[in-house]
C-alpha cells in the first residue's frame, strides 16, 4: 500500500506511512518476529505494537469487533510484566487509563463504537488534566447497539464530540494492518509529546482482516514525564492530575493554553497519503478501509480515461486541510467515500468553501461499499461535470436511501 | 497431488487466521467432484468475520451443503450451534467440520467429541509459518495441545497452509517446508499436504519422491526447502473486496 506519489502538502516529512519511530533492531526487540513479515489480524497488530511502544497497562472490556485486542493483551501483557485488566465496564477502563497515565505509564484502552461512547467522560477528563493515553475504536454500525459489521460512523464523535468541554483529540486513521501497528506507535508518541489523549480510529474490517505486517522494534527509550504523579519523595514539587478549576479565569487560561497546543498540532501534524492527485480532476477523499476501496475505483476510473485521484487523510484530527486546499487548484470536483451517511464530507466542504462541487458516496449500517459502486459514483460525477447527465446529484447513498 | 488424501469425515482445526476456512472451501469443492454429497459444518462461533458461512452461494453452486450456526451472517452476536449438525453424522458422502480458531473455537468441537470419536475420521491441524503466535514449531505444537485438550480429540495430520496472503511467493512456500516438517516430526503426525496458491502452479518445484516424515533428513525449521512435497493447489476465496483481482488498479 505504498503510495505511488507520496507527497503531503505542507508536511513533506510525514507523508505516506505515518512516521514509525526508527527503533527497529533496538535492544530488546522480540527476536522471532522483528523485521520479519508475519500474518496478523489488525486487532492483534494493534495490541502487539502497543506493547512494543512501551504500553504497560491495558484496561478493556470485550465487545465485537475489537475483542481480539483485549484477548491478545490478556496473553501477552503478563509476559511483559505489564498489567492487563478486564474492567467491570468501559467507564471503569478509561478511568483506569486516566490513573495509569497520571503516574506516567503508557496506557491504553480499546473498544468498539457503543463502548467508546461510554468512555467519553473519561476522555474529556484526560484532556482536561493534560494526560496522554491511547484509545482504540474498532468501529461498528450505529447508532445505539447498531450492528457488528464495519462502519465509519464515529467520525463526528472522534473528531468533534468525543466528550464535553473545550478540547480536541488527535485521531489517526490506519488503512492497512501494517498501519494499525505503526499508528499505535505514533499514537503513544503524539500523546506524550502533546500531553493529550490520542485515538486510533479503525473499523471492524481492518480489525478482523489478516495481512502481512512487519512489527516495529521495541521502543528504546520512553520520554521523561516530570509532571507524573509518581511520588515526589520529598525531592521535588508535588504534581497533581486534575481537571477541576473553579475559578473561571484559571480555567480559561488553561483552555487557551491548550488551544495554543492544538494550533501547533494543526500546523505540524496533518498527515495524508496521496494517490494520483497531481493531475486529478475528480479527487476522492476517503480514510481507513474505505480508502482502499476508493483506491481500487480510482485505478479503474483511470483505465476508463477519467482523471481520478485519492487523498487519504491519515490524521482525521487535525484534518489535513492543507492537502485538500492544495488539490482545489487542479481538481474540478471532490467525492468523499465513507461508511456512514456523510460525515467527513462536511470537513471537505469546509476547506473547499464552495470553490468546487463536493459529492459524497457511502454505505452505512455495516455495509461495505464495493469498488464497482464507487466507480459508478466517480462516473456520475464525471458526467455531471461534462454536462452529459444533469441527473448526477452531488450526493448518492448506494442503496441506503 | 490433486486433492489431499483425507477420510470422508474430516475435522479442520488450527490457530485463528491460518487459513482454515479457505482450505475448507477448497477441500469441499474438490471433494464434491469425488463424492455425491458433501457437507461443510461451520463450527466457528468465535469469529463473526471471514467465515465459511460467507461462502454459502459458492458452495451451493457445486452442490455442497452448508450447516451454519443459527445466526451466521445476520450479525447477531450469539454463539449458537444448529441441531442440524447432527444430520452430518448420518449423512452419506463427505463431511468437513470447519472449527473456530484456537482452543476457544475447539471447545465447540468438544461438544461432538463422542459422535466424532465413533466415526473413522481425520482431524487436520492447519499451520501457517507466517502466522503470529504459531510461527515456530514449538508454538504450533503447544497450540495443538490446547486444541486437543479443549476438543478431547486428537489430530491425525498436519496441513501446511503457510502463506502471506497476496504477498505469497514461491520463496514464501519453500521457506515454510522446514517449519512444517519439524512441527509434524515433533507431533509424530504425517504432513498431509502443503498448499500452493494456483498462481504458483508450475513456478514452484514440486518433489518427485515423497520422503516419509520422521524418517527423512531433518532440516532446521527456518531452512529453505528446494521443493514441495504433496502440494495441494488451492484458490483464494477468502479475501476483502479490494483484493479481488478484477479490481486491481493499473
**Using the 8-state DSSP alphabet, how is residue A140 labeled?**
B
Chain A nearest-CA distance from B202, in A, is 24
Q: Which residue in A37, A299, A366 is closest to B75 by CB distance?
A: A366
Name the pLDDT band for B210 (thresholds 50, 70, 90): very low
What is the structure's pLDDT at B118? 94
A368 at the B interface (CB within 8 A)? yes
Chain A nearest-CA distance from B122, in A, is 27
Q: Where are the beta strands (DSSP E) in B35-144?
A: 38-43, 64-67, 94-99, 122-127
Same domain, A124 and A232: yes
Q: Which residue in B130, B131, B247 is closest to A296 by CB distance?
A: B247
What is the mean pLDDT of the segment spanning A53-59? Answer: 98
Strand (E) or helix (H) holding B135: none
Chain A nearest-CA distance from B165, in A, is 7
In the predicted structure, residue B217 carries a pLDDT above the cut 70: no
What is the mean pLDDT of the segment spanning B79-102? Answer: 90
Distances (CA, A) of A314 to A274, A275, A305, A321: 10, 13, 28, 12
Q: Which residues from chain B sit within 8 angstroms of residue A300, using beta carbons?
A: 247, 249
Alpha helices per DSSP H over A304-359? 321-327, 344-352
In the predicted structure, residue A391 carries a pLDDT above the cut 50: no
In the predicted structure, residue B224 carries a pLDDT above the cut 80: no
Q: Where are the beta strands (DSSP E) in A44-192?
A: 57-60, 83-86, 107-111, 133-139, 170-172
pLDDT in tens, A339-384: 999 999 999 999 999 999 999 999 999 999 999 999 999 999 998 8
| In chain A, residues 86-125 whose CB comes closer than 8 Å to chain B | none
Q: Which residues from chain B sit within 8 angstroms of residue A370, using beta carbons?
A: 241
Task: Return mean pLDDT, chain A.
Answer: 89
Cα–Cα distance for residue pair A173/A370, rounded to 1 Å: 20
Same domain, A108 and A122: yes
In the predicted structure, residue A18 carries a pLDDT above the cut 50: no
Cα three-residue angle B176-B10-B136, rounded to 5 degrees: 25
Residues in contact with A227: Cβ distance below 8 Å, sequence separation at least 6, in sequence order: A104, A130, A195, A239
What is the structure's pLDDT at B74? 59
Chain A nearest-CA distance from B239, in A, is 8
Chain B nearest-CA distance from A133, in A, is 26
Q: Is B187 exposed, middle or buried (0-12, 13-18, 19+ CB in 10 A)?
A: buried
For position A28, which CATH number holds?
3.40.50.970
What is the mean pLDDT of the segment spanning A299-303? Answer: 95
What's the whole-model pTM score? 0.87
In the predicted structure, residue A387 carries a pLDDT above the cut 70: no
Complex ipTM over 0.85: no
**Inter-chain CB proximity B49 and A204 less than 8 Å:** yes
What is the structure's pLDDT at B72? 60
Sheet holding A107-111, edge to edge: A83-86, A57-60, A107-111, A133-139, A197-203, A170-172, A315-317
Same domain, A150 and A291: no
In the predicted structure, residue B250 carries a pLDDT above the cut 70: no
Q: Which residues from chain A sit within 8 angstroms of residue B136, using beta carbons?
A: 32
Same domain, A76 and A213: yes
In the predicted structure, residue B245 carries a pLDDT above the cut 70: no
**Using the 8-state DSSP alphabet, how is residue A206 labeled?**
H
Q: Which residues from chain B sit within 8 angstroms of residue A208, using beta carbons?
A: 47, 49-50
In the predicted structure, residue A397 carries a pLDDT above the cut 90: no
Same domain, A80 and A28: yes
Same domain, A262 and A293: no
Reduced to 3 states, what is the DSSP secondary structure of residue A180? helix
CA A396 to chain centre: 25
Which structural domain range is residue A378 located in? Answer: 273-397
Distances (CA, A) of A59 to A92, A163, B60, B140: 8, 19, 44, 28
Q: Are A168 and A194 in contact (CB under 8 A)?
A: no
pLDDT in tens, B98-136: 998 888 889 999 999 999 999 999 999 999 999 988 999
Count of domains forming chain A: 2
Cα–Cα distance for residue pair A306/A299, rounded to 1 Å: 9
pLDDT in tens, A67-87: 999 999 999 999 999 999 999
Domain boundary, last residue among A269, A289, A315: A269
- Enter the C-alpha cell of residue B73: 451472517
Same domain, A229 and A287: no
What is the structure's pLDDT at A31? 39
Query: Can you say whether the dihedral through the CA atoms of B92, B96, B100, B104 is positive or negative?
Result: positive
Q: Which residues from chain A sit within 8 angstroms of residue B247, using beta carbons?
A: 296, 300, 371-372
For position A311, which CATH number holds?
3.40.50.920
Closest CA to A197 of A130, A111, A121, A104: A130
What is the mean pLDDT of the segment spanning A202-231? Answer: 94
Alpha helices per DSSP H over A226-370? 248-268, 288-303, 321-327, 344-352
What is the structure's pLDDT at B102? 85
Number of helices followed by number of strands (H, E) in chain B: 6, 8
Name the pLDDT band for B54 (thresholds 50, 70, 90): confident
Same domain, A330 and A251: no
Q: Which residues from chain B sit within 8 angstroms of residue A44, using beta carbons?
A: 132-133
Same domain, A216 and A358: no
Chain B nearest-CA distance from A12, in A, is 25
Closest residue in B to A208 (Cα–Cα):
B49
Strand (E) or helix (H) holding A105: none
Same domain, A264 and A287: no
Same domain, A47 and A95: yes
Domain boundary, last residue among A225, A244, A269: A269
Q: Which residues from chain A sit within 8 angstroms of residue B240, using beta carbons?
A: 205, 209, 289, 292
Same domain, A287 and A259: no
Domain boundary, last residue among A269, A286, A313: A269
A65: preceding bond cis by omega (within 30 degrees): yes
Amino acid at each position: 500500500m505504498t503510495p505511488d506519489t507520496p507527497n503531503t502538502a505542507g508536511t513533506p516529512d510525514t507523508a505516506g506511512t505515518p512516521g514509525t519511530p526508527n527503533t527497529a533492531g533496538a535492544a530488546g526487540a522480540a527476536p522471532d518476529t522483528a523485521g520479519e513479515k508475519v500474518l496478523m489480524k489488525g486487532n492483534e497488530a494493534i495490541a502487539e505494537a502497543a506493547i512494543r511502544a512501551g504500553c504497560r497497562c491495558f484496561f478493556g472490556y470485550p465487545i465485537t469487533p475489537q475483542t481480539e485486542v483485549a484477548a491478545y493483551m490478556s496473553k501477552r501483557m503478563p509476559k511483559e510484566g505489564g498489567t492487563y485488566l478486564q474492567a467491570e465496564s468501559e467507564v471503569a477502563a478509561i478511568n483506569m487509563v486516566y490513573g495509569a497515565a497520571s503516574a506516567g505509564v503508557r496506557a491504553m484502552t480499546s473498544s468498539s463504537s457503543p463502548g467508546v461512547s461510554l468512555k467519553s467522560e473519561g476522555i474529556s477528563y484526560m484532556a482536561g488534566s493534560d494526560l496522554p493515553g491511547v484509545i482504540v475504536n474498532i468501529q461498528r454500525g450505529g447508532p445505539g447497539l447498531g450492528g457488528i459489521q464495519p462502519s465509519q460512523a464515529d467520525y463526528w464523535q472522534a473528531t468533534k464530540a468525543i466528550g464535553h468541554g473545550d478540547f480536541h483529540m488527535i485521531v489517526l486513521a490506519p488503512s492497512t494492518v501494517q498501519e494499525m501497528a505503526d499508528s499505535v506507535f505514533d499514537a503513544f508518541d503524539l500523546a506524550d509529546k502533546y500531553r493529550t489523549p490520542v485515538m486510533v480510529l479503525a473499523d471492524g474490517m481492518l480489525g478482523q482482516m489478516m495481512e502481512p505486517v512487519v512489527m516495529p522494534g521495541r521502543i528504546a527509550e520512553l520520554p521523561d514525564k516530570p509532571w507524573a504523579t509518581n511520588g515526589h519523595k520529598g525531592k521535588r514539587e508535588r504534581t497533581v492530575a486534575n481537571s477541576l478549576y473553579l475559578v473561571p479565569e484559571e480555567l480559561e487560561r488553561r483552555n487557551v493554553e491548550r488551544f495554543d497546543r492544538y494550533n501547533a498540532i494543526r500546523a505540524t501534524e496533518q498527515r495524508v497519503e496521496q494517490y494520483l492527485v497531481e493531475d486529478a480532476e475528480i479527487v476522492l477523499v476517503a480514510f481507513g478501509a474505505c480508502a482502499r476501496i476508493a483506491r481500487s475505483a480510482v485505478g479503474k476510473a483511470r483505465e476508463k480515461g477519467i482523471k481520478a485521484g485519492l487523498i487519504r487523510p491519515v490524521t482525521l484530527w487535525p484534518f489535513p486541510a492543507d492537502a485538500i486546499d492544495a488539490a482545489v487548484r487542479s481538481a474540478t470536483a471532490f467525492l468523499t467515500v465513507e461508511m456512514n451517511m456523510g460525515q467527513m464530507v462536511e470537513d471537505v466542504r469546509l476547506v473547499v468553501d464552495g470553490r468546487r462541487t463536493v459529492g459524497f458516496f457511502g454505505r452505512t449500517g455495516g455495509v461495505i461499499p464495493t469498488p464497482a459502486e464507487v466507480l459508478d459514483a466517480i462516473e456520475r460525477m464525471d458526467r455531471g461535470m461534462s454536462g452529459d447527465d444533469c441527473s448526477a446529484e452531488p450526493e448518492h447513498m448506494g442503496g441506503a436511501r | 497431488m490433486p486433492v489431499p488424501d483425507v477420510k470422508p469425515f474430516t475435522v479442520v482445526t488450527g490457530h485463528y487466521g491460518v487459513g482454515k476456512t479457505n482450505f475448507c472451501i477448497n477441500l469441499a469443492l474438490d471433494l464434491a467432484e469425488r463424492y455425491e454429497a458433501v457437507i461443510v459444518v461451520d463450527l466457528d462461533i468465535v469469529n463473526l468475520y471471514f467465515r465459511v458461512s460467507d461462502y454459502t452461494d459458492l458452495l451451493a453452486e457445486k452442490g455442497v451443503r452448508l450447516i451454519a450456526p443459527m445466526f451466521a451472517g445476520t450479525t447477531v452476536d450469539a454463539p449458537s450451534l444448529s441441531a442440524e449438525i447432527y444430520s452430518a453424522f448420518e449423512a452419506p458422502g463427505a463431511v468437513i467440520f470447519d472449527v473456530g480458531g484456537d482452543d476457544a473455537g475447539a471447545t465447540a468441537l468438544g461438544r461432538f467429541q463422542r459422535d466424532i470419536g465413533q466415526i473413522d475420521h481425520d482431524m487436520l491441524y492447519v499451520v501457517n509459518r507466517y502466522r503470529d503466535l504459531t510461527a515456530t514449531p514449538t508454538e504450533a505444537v503447544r497450540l495443538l495441545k490446547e486444541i486437543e485438550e479443549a476438543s478431547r480429540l486428537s489430530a491425525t495430520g498436519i496441513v501446511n497452509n503457510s502463506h502471506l496472503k497476496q504477498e505469497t511467493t514461491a520463496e514464501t512456500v519453500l521457506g515454510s517446508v522446514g517449519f512444517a516438517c519439524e512441527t509434524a516430526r515433533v507431533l509424530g503426525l504425517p504432513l498431509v499436504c502443503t498448499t500452493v496458491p494456483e498462481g504458483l502452479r508450475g513456478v514452484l518445484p514440486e518433489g518427485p519422491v515423497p520422503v516419509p516424515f520422521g524418517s527423512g533428513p531433518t532440516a532446521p525449521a527456518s531452512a529453505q526447502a528446494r521443493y514441495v512435497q504433496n502440494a495441494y493447489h488451492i484458490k483464494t476465496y477468502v479475501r476483502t473486496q479490494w483484493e479481488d483481482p478484477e479490481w486491481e488498479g493499473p
